[in-house]
């Protein structure tokens, strides 16, 4: 078994499951948004913000944001371990990725639940 690993779970199976589950969530979310946009051709700010005012939409969106964060982390962690062989650079890039994902997630939550 490979034990020198810098991801969080250290389990390929959980990473793999996270990728699959988050992908399904993101696909559903994307489909929903696309369909919503198609069925509301003259979309204005009020309708749009009305949608996000509903609790179920906020939960759905939060789920999608968390999924996106997890998906991005597992995916980008994999990409960095594939392509960035010097350890220092790899850890540096991974740190930047974690920070960015964290910031985007907090920012997203703030937009969603704030105000």
Partner 1 sequence: MSTLQVSIYRYNPETDSAPYMQEFQVDTQGRDIMVLDVLHLMKEQDNGLAFRRSCREGVCGSDGMNMNGKNGLACITPLSDVVKNGKLVLRPLPGLPVIRDLVVDMGLFYKQYERIQPYLQNDTPAPAIERLQSPEDRDKLDGLYECILCACCSTSCPSFWWNPEKFVGPAGLLQSYRFLADSRDTATDERLAELEDPFSVFRCRGIMNCVAVCPKGLNPTRAIGKIREMLLANAT
Which residues sit in the known binding site for heme? 71
Q: Which of 28, 22, 30, 29 lies closest to 75 in space, CA to CA?
A: 22
By C-beta, is 5 or 51 nearer to partner 1?
Answer: 5
- Block residue for tokens 């369909």: 35
Least Å distance, CB 89 to partner 1, is: 15
- Which residues in the 63-102 window bind partner 1 by CB under 8 A? 78, 81-83
Range list of H helices, the chain: 12-39, 45-53, 55-83, 87-113
The single-letter DSSP state of residue 84 is -
- Asked if 12 is part of the footprint of partner 1 (rule: CB under 8 A), the reply reads yes
- Asked if 10 is part of the footprint of partner 1 (rule: CB under 8 A), the reply reads yes
Return residues touching partner 1 (CB under 8 A): 1-3, 5, 7, 9-13, 15-17, 78, 81-83
């Amino acid at each position: 078994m490979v034990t020198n690993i810098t991801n969080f779970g250290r389990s390929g199976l959980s990473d793999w499951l996270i990728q699959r589950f988050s992908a399904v969530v993101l696909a559903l979310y994307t489909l929903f948004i696309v369909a919503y946009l198609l069925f509301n051709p003259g979309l204005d700010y009020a309708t749009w913000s009305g949608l996000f005012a509903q609790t179920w939409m906020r939960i759905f969106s939060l789920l999608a944001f968390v999924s996106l964060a997890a998906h991005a982390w597992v995916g980008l962690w994999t990409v960095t371990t594939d392509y960035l062989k010097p350890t220092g650079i790899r850890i540096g890039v991974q740190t930047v990725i974690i920070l960015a994902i964290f910031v985007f997630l907090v920012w997203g939550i703030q937009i969603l639940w704030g105000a």
